[in-house]
Structure 1
């Protein structure tokens, strides 16, 4: 590919480069990049996946008779490119260094919809980069906080994934990923040819709300043939939008405020009405609404609470899933009919085009695994679809192509997810359509032909600390850059954290003596230091198993499970003498169970468990450092409760929105995240009188830099540390019949 063949604009990841003006954009915001580094970048982008030698770059950009210090100039240009792209030499996502040879651009390159070319954009083959988190300096002690460098990481996209409608247990398993799609087919008499599927990126702003199987939140996109309908994020609020399949332009659909945090379930067979699930609370079963594709109004599906739904083939009735059953809601007479009992909770309900087969995803809240099932029309006996398939993967979210010839579904391996295809009748071995490392999810079939749409997830986030003097958030230093939840030891000498991949680490507060404490086989959600600093209690789980409480010594030895039970347990918190742990159960969105939820205490010597009186329907306990109180949250996350260990009485400390509570070191207050508020406040709740004070909100971030964040923990000086979301998903299309 030569420069003459490039169009006026090219795209890679969230970035677009305007070749005419020499400008670089990230999600629509201009990124500062000087002309010489931009020219080096374009020289690499012209040949994605190929090595561009140092000699070639010197000849093209500096000339053979250059008198400048070429090595220094080229090195400086590459560093500025990486700074603008948020890339790193150690774990490259865009520019790879080949020692003593040159450089290679390893991300795929596409033509955006508004490019000069009107042809279907082609994906240029590229080598597979190593997935990595964005290269952002993490936290250091407050006295060593650096000033936020202007433009240090370019200009961030202004729209991000909002979790306002989700509990703050959402696992930050996402890492910054890059699209690589490649297909190899054998044609003719043994001749091998590599053909690139016709993939096109539809949106580029990173607004699309992706799914999270840990939260029973599945990707939700439907189409009427001209538009895509999905949820995206605007200024911390989840909105229903209509997106052009041609231009990618998004238009909000005005719907009543009663339909909060809308999630699309399905579109009617005639393409006129959307079936929407709202999120009035964090309970798993929610109201269903019918909304015209043009927006403007909404009609409640009467007498129904469900966790997912779809239209019946007749377009007049609604099929919905509640608990572990399927029901049909007859809209004309408002009657409800039970259709089938299931072996778990059903999601992503999809009928075949002829209405003879229903396929859906069964989610197991204990093992946190997913599988595809099928139910024939008129039958009440569902059957597993891929039983015996040799691929060791969770499967979900399948859809038939419009002609019924193929069934496209999603298969997951850990944090990776790809799309696969099988015959529409469920025969034959599935064939891979995508091959990472971007997370591909939620295939949606076009209304004609073999084209599909889907979400490609490219999560980017930074760890930041609140600076009360300047009333804003700023970057923190390096060694905690992947922290998801963190906690400091009480002597202020050590810090432990779970990273975005679920691994547990500890280090001294200057970053020295860094040590991984848990094997990769255990996914860690949060960690707590013992009062003496010798041990850590953690909430984690093995693949295919429930959340459990573990103990591990500070040197990484003696890892052990505390409870020998199969149900979910979480949020361990130490008694002041270090002899007991209080813990709770997870909310419905992390694993809906039939057993009661309460706060319990386990004696670490005898392993005897007792229930804290009056703690029914409470979770997320936190023992105060002085041992006088235990804080907990109601399951709807509206009430912050306080238990007095002397009087053995509970009282409501505050009412509002609360997640991830943390005691201040002086025992005087609890810091929590008001995540259900559109402004996403970090709040301080005084123990003495329950007064709620806002410490920081979305407005305290640099204008336009982020749209969502979650609370990671407190520094020893009680400063809030957060992980700020800067990018999430985009929509793509792929012609599955192009061979």
Structure 2
């Protein structure tokens, strides 16, 4: 039975601490944003009846016009948070046509609290302790009545005067500290502005939203074609048109010259031209001869910061006078100017899981990293300033989630404290990206994503899509050699699971913080190889017993290790290195063979500049992809020769179980297709058209296969929309 102890509401092993605004389950804190927490408390406080939707909208968003879909989304998030109990009880009940009800009995009583009361009368400060109680005859006045004290003698008055003077100085000093204390924003509400179900954020890009004051302008993705989209600043219908090229991405907008800058998604090939488009509408034109990925206008629109590869450049507004400002060790992206135009921030990717934030003066001096010493210093990117320069917003990227943080910038008189970062977004979405502060500092616009997918199979005969495993949100499906078991990773969580092909007898094989991807059964069915990572570590290949047990890496090295593939005899594992998205070509990219007996690995001859190896089940061939993802190659293990199979662009590759066919798909560009190559004649077959089919996956669209030769795909059912995050500035 639910009960309250020490002011803590408890039910089904959940616990609510009202004072701390904290929900937990079995002592594990659960993330809820403030509005969803308010919804939970409102339903608990009115649990004796059904609460109507209109009542909830008025209570949670007073004097605001909010669509019912926002309430529905918070109900969804609340139910998601309250889904860990094992009894099956419905905590949040839906009463059709009426509203919602809290379905668990709660006995609530307020604990006694001590309140510090400060009263000021005629420059005399009185500090008393009052007890808050429900007893009707309780004394509610000061515990110490000064009218009953004897009249003090002169010596005591002198000492009391000194005490009062000291107290007055202390209070004055504290008041000055509070006045000069750096104000901090916090999110008090989140309002969804778009609701068209179309992806808003392109892979590998971080600047997603700009505004001209009346509308928000952003990119959408339809059939792998970038679309320039816009929505009124208060939300509403989205209008879009094709972008200048398929992988175009919004870089920046200047309110001075009313011109949009267009770059491209982070790519592994050459940079695209930087385009400028004067609004409301004009033909996009290249800015001089500028090329790169990301770009940003200076506050006065006289200069442009551009990133390409490892370098940050500055050029004049017409593209002339380009000069290098910074040379980094990793890939540079997301340049942003400070409001006074004196400083540039930028992000650097130095590994598959490592991103850093930097600042440099516009003159090229004073280059330094931000957030050194913080726990997530190597997981930060995409910073941008508030209009007044007081706050610096940025993104912290985890392996399966991201959040928006704020770093107050040191002001002229803020010497009382060192600015410390604060997390702004908690819950509501799996991913928060592309923060854009409003001009008045009262809101942030951002892209929020709820990640989910549905596992689908392509029928080998009809070529039609149908759910697999009930449409579970999973990828990396691999069948045991006897076909009696499957192993897969949950999407997006990255936990490793084993079950029967019908989904029964589930068993979790990995635990957080380890994030697992691409599991593969050993030929004897006893071991599962998979790639995994955890915060601060590179991707490595792990082995775990198929019946469960401790997972351990096969190698201890700093280099990344990609998707594992077993040799048919189970004595070797092939793998490639990971090419960081957006990085320059790596001449040292190779394919490796790991020997399980000698615990050593060697490089496959002639595999330089290739990755994504896939061993054919019969052991005769090994496929691989060139690092620009354009060409599929085949290595003959007998002749030890490489041949090219296709050059139409390659995303993922999978062999049929009998080694007769090699399937691969294309993703980048405007013609997503599933291809098949028979090994007898090696003629390319266009096997299935994937246009109009939204696809998902941790590293991009995933491709698998069933024992009967039916390809497996993950349908992307994520909700990715633009939100306005309303801010409150407080000390």
TM-score, structure 2 length as denominator? 0.71
C-alpha separation between the residues in 1 aligned to 2:75 and 2:319? 59
Q: Distance in 2 between matches of 1:292 and 1:59?
A: 48
Structure 1 residue 376, shift from structure 2 partner: 2.4
Question: Hey, what's the Cα distance between the residues in 1 that align with 2:347 and 2:514?
Answer: 25
- Match of 2:228? 240
1:124-163 CA-to-partner distances (Å, cap 9, x unmatched) read 9x99xxxxxxxxxxxxxxxxxxxxxxxxxxxxxxxxxxxx
Partner of 1:497: 488
Which residue number in structure 2 is paired with residue 317 of structure 1? Answer: 303
2:387 corresponds to 1:396: no
State the TM-score, normalized to the length of structure 1.
0.70
**2:629 corresponds to which of 631, 634, 637:** 637
On the 8 A contact 1:661/1:672 being kept in 2, the answer is yes
Contact 2:267-2:583 at 8 Å conserved across structures: no
Contact (CA 8 Å) 1:365, 1:593: kept in 2 or not? no
What's 1:549 paired with? Answer: 541
Q: Does the 8 A contact of 2:476 with 2:704 survive in 1?
A: yes
In 2: Cα distance, 1:100 partner to 1:535 partner = 34
Aligned partners of 2:378 and 2:634: how far apart in 1? 43
Find the aligned partners of 1:55 and 1:683 in 2 and give their Cα distance.
Answer: 59
Q: Which runs of 5+ in 2 are unaligned?
A: 1-37, 54-68, 95-99, 104-177, 180-185, 412-417
How far is 1:301 from its partner? Answer: 4.1
Structure 1: distance between partners of 2:73 and 2:443: 31
Q: Secondary structure at the match of 2:419?
A: coil
Matched residue, 1:218 = 206
CA–CA separation in structure 2 for the residues paired with 1:638 and 1:58: 57
- The C-alpha deviation readout for 1:485-509, integer Å capped at 9, x for no partner, is 1111222122111221112222232
The CA deviation at 1:269 is 4.8
Matches within 5 A, 1:94-493: 103-104=91-92, 197=188, 199-210=190-201, 216-256=204-244, 259-279=245-265, 282-283=268-269, 285-301=271-287, 303-330=289-316, 332=318, 334-342=320-328, 344-366=330-352, 368-389=353-374, 394-412=379-397, 415-425=400-410, 428-438=419-429, 439-478=431-470, 481-493=472-484
Whether the 8 Å CA contact 1:638–1:655 is kept in 2: the answer is yes
What is the deviation of 1:597?
Answer: 1.0
1:626 aligns with 2:618: yes
CA distance in 2, matches of 1:461, 1:203: 20
Q: Distance in 2 between matches of 1:414 and 1:640?
A: 28
Deviation of residue 317 (structure 1)? 3.1
Equivalent position of 2:704 in the other structure: 713
Match of 1:515 in 2: 507
Higher relative contact order (CA 8 A, sep 6+): 1
Per-residue CA deviation, residues 296-345 of structure 1 (Å, 9 max, x unaligned), is 52223455543422223442332122333311234547443111233543
Match of 2:420, SS?
A: coil
Question: Are the aligned partners of 2:653 and 2:703 in contact in 1 as well (CA < 8 Å)?
Answer: no
Find the aligned partners of 2:399 and 2:632 in 1 and give their Cα distance.
34
Alignment of 1:557-572 (within 5 A): 557=549, 559-572=551-564
* Alpha carbons of structure 1 residues 712 and 679: separation in structure 2 relative to 1, 3 Å: same
* Alpha-carbon distance between aligned partners in 2 of 1:227 and 1:523, rounded to the nearest angstrom: 39
Distance 1:311 1:493 in 2: 59
**CA separation of 1:513/1:425 partners in 2, compared to 1, >3 Å: closer, same or farther?**
same
Residue 737 of structure 1 and its aligned partner are, at CA, apart by: 4.4
Could you say if the C-alpha distance between residues 304 and 649 of structure 1 is closer, same or farther in structure 2, counting changes exceeding 3 Å? farther
Q: Is the 8 A contact 1:260 1:280 kept in 2?
A: no
Structure 1 residue 698: deviation in Å? 3.5
**How far does residue 364 in structure 1 lie from its aligned partner after superposition?**
2.7
The whole-number CA distance in structure 1 between the counterparts of 2:342 and 2:77 is 53
Residue 693 of structure 1 deviates from its aligned partner by 2.4
Shift of 1:86: 14
| Shift of residue 711, structure 1, vs aligned partner | 3.3
CA offset digits 1:352-372 (Å, max 9, x no partner): 111122222333315x13333
Select the residue among 680, 687, 711 that pairs with 1:688.
680
Q: Any conservation in 2 of the 1:49–1:104 contact (CA below 8 Å)?
A: no
Report the CA distance between 1:102 and its aligned residue: 7.2
Q: What secondary structure does 1:50 align onto? A: helix
Structure 1 distance, partners of 2:620, 2:52, is 72
Equivalent in 32, 35, 43 of residue 50 of structure 1 = 43
Structure 1 Cα separation of the partners of residues 565 and 291 of structure 2? 35
Name the CA distance, whole Å, in 1 between partners of 2:319 and 2:73. Answer: 57
Question: How far apart are 1:396 and its partner, in Å?
Answer: 2.6
Aligned in 2, Cα 1:462/1:538: closer, same or farther, shift over 3 Å? same
Aligned partners of 2:661, 2:488: CA distance in 1, in Å?
23
Query: Contact 1:97–1:103 at 8 Å: present in 2 too?
Result: no
Write the deviation string for residues 633-660 of structure 1: whole angstroms up to 9, x where unpaired: 1112221111111111111112212222
Aligned to 1:9: none
Residue 100 (structure 1) shift: 11
Structure with bigger gyration radius = 2
Q: Deviation of residue 57 (structure 1)?
A: 4.7
Counterpart secondary structure, 2:682:
coil
Q: Please tell me the root mean square deviation across aligned C-alpha atoms, in Å.
A: 3.9
Distance in 1, matches of 2:503 and 2:351, equals 37
Task: Indicate if the aligned counterparts of 2:266 and 2:293 stay in contact, CA closer than 8 A.
Answer: no
Relative to structure 1, is the Cα distance of residues 560 and 360 closer, same or farther in structure 2, using a 3 angstrom cutoff?
Answer: same
CA gap of 1:416–1:664, structure 2 versus 1, over 3 A, is: closer
In 2, the alpha carbon distance for the partners of 1:379 and 1:50 equals 56
How many residues align? The count is 581
CA distance in 2, matches of 1:661, 1:100: 41
Any gaps of 5 or more consecutive residues in structure 1? 1-44, 61-80, 107-123, 128-186, 189-194
Measured in 2, the distance between the counterparts of 1:428 and 1:344 equals 27
Cα offset for 1:240?
1.8
Say whether 1:734 aligns with 2:722: no
Partner of residue 35, structure 1: none
Decide whether the 8 Å contact of 2:356 with 2:381 is kept in 1.
yes
**1:395 Cα deviation from its structure 2 partner:** 2.9
Q: Pairwise mapping of residues 68-87 of structure 1 onto structure 2 (< 5 A)?
A: none
Structure-1 residue corresponding to 2:5: none
**What is the DSSP-based 3-state SS (H/G/I as helix, E as strand, rest coil) of the residue aligned with 1:545?**
coil
